[in-house]
Amino acid sequence: MTAAMDSSEARRHHFEVEKELATRLRNSTREERKGLAAELYSELYRRVPNHPRVARSKEKDAEERSIAAQLRLVRHALAPEVRFLEFGAGTGTFSKHVAPKVKEAIALEVCAQGSAADKAPANYRMQMHDGLVIPLPDGGIDVAFSYQVLEHLHPDDVELHFQEIARVLKPGGTYILSTPHALSGPHDVSRYFSEKLETFHLKEWTYGEMAPLMRRCGFTRIQPFLRGKTGPAYRLLLPGFRVIERALCMMPASLRTRVARKFLNNVVVCAFK
């Protein structure tokens, strides 16, 4: 009983701290957001030292499962001549895992989250940035990747993010991303206390929202995948996803969430420049 109460109290503390910090980020201007995310996430990890992201980074089994899940999404795009960019790379563990399979692996992050214990390959580097502009030249990246990151970006900055990814990609380059699906959310700590997003998941997306925005930002073809909590991803045509999303939107909210979590837990996209 005491352990359960301690767990409940820890979760409430996590929620209240993250809600406070997320409100600051939501209400900020773009100019203020330059570097603000790094400041706020550093404060979050200091005030919530048992934050799940920090805890997972220390658990070998959880780390191996995460690497396997990410590798399923990008394996087909990796080759010895590929320059690989991971946006929101955390400790850089996944990019280090990818590095032996590619020409160069660049891990992009706004906030230092400690160092992964394994030695970095010679063709790997960690690059810090302000969360907005990617500090890389035009047209040098073959494959960009983000995993459970887009939901943390301010909604007003997502278009700039897609533009920046398109800018650094070579013609024909690929952006592979996975982010929580809005219709099966909230997916963050908000879900235990609210039906709306109140913490650092600033926006969760649908395929219908994301695809047209990516096209406006320079991507010529959007290939969506269907992927639940576990198992493989299956290709479907974009109109099929829109039909599914419209059908789900007609359901009562509680039923919609339960159904969506069975097979629409994430928005998974492979977008081509």
Break the chain into its structural domains and give their ranges.
2-272
CA gap 130, 110 in Å, rounded: 6
Return the beta strands (E) in 66-204 as ranges.
83-87, 104-109, 124-128, 141-147, 169-180
Q: List the one residue out of 184, 191, 175 whose CA is nearest residue 73.
A: 175
pLDDT tens, residue by residue, 49-107: 988 777 676 777 888 999 999 999 999 999 999 999 999 998 899 999 999 999 999 99
Which pTM does this prediction carry? 0.90
pLDDT tens, residue by residue, 163-213: 999 999 999 999 999 999 999 999 999 999 998 999 999 999 999 999 999
The pLDDT, as a whole number, for residue 57 is 66
Position 227 pLDDT exceeds 70: no
User: How is domain 2-272 classified at the CATH fold level?
Assistant: Rossmann fold (3.40.50)
Position 245 pLDDT exceeds 60: yes
